[in-house]
Structure 1
């Protein structure tokens, strides 16, 4: 079964996509063609969006699902003329908030992702730069500035997790790959030993690790099931020896890994 889902916004569409994806994920039996229509900031563009939605309805033989974060009243009204099921994500919550707070929303376009707090924006950018500069153990001299140092075997999800923690929470994160040399005598690398209190480990199912590595280096020893199994077992022993908190990331998204790390470590996000 196939349906089309539209994410319509007067801005980037990120908010509509985020909420829409979360809701659609609950309907796994349906295949959705997902279309984002951003920057709908005029009546003409709203009519164009309606035309696209109506064409999809005709092609599919079923109403598209439309997630909208349009703020402008006339453009919202135009969108509601489409032959789709429109879920108006802002108006569903704005009226109850207006009633509770006793003030009206300003209905300004593009406020969700606007740079309103310059300090928070600088923190986010600096955190991302830190994550990139301290990726994969390339540099270790700045570890005293890190909020967190992720460790794990190669291709276990350290880099994307660090970048997400930086971008979403403003945390200064570094990551360091543990290798066979570290496993031989179950020791912490010299660069990590002074920062044991900042370490957090990721682990992963050996079969999954082999599949991921095979996409990069198929048929290599690096990607072999035997090598991956050895590394994962040794990694767990290292975590146990040094009492490093850790998380099995095999079935988790980057978002889930990141929020669980915050919950397990007690780290406070720099961005609210």
Structure 2
């Protein structure tokens, strides 16, 4: 079903390493030639130690260029797979494919963008165990990423989320440019604090018919949850049904099945 998506990703992924190495090597050669051109102009460069340090700097710049371009192109390649989650709501297929890609690359450096996409898929499966393992083992290369902060917060216990929410909201408000994204976080806070009337109001404000399918599934699940908490069970049922019909392999389906018992 997703063969065309996988093919486009594999093609870009396989070309990426060679291209990144080629660019990195070109950067090294260009800077090396430039350095040797300056040797006769600046006597300090004739010093063996200074020359060695400059070569080391050139090497570091070349490696940095490789790592940046490699990760940038991986990020571009991953766009080919995003419809599997956003439009087909199939995080299981998405995650299994990325897991196979990571395992194939186990003797090579795995791009931070590849880990981030894998974490995204796991989050839609609610596979907290694997998410914790990745963050514990590879968190150092993912530090500073906004999405990682969100994952770390969502992995907290319910009690700790309540305790840390205001700090988390404050941090996110400083960096998020979208008012809608901030409201989505506030909805989380309202539900943590049993403020269901306010959560229901915010949900109505953020709904967008043009959203991708997985965002709509998430919205309908939250709407159903809030309505049930407000004892409006009949009003919640169409939202539950939407999740059951469209949630595919996401954990939203199991949550909707649980809500349908009420």
Same fold (TM over 0.5): no
Higher percent of residues as strand: 1
TM-score for the superposition, normalised by structure 1: 0.24
Q: Which has the higher helix share?
A: 2
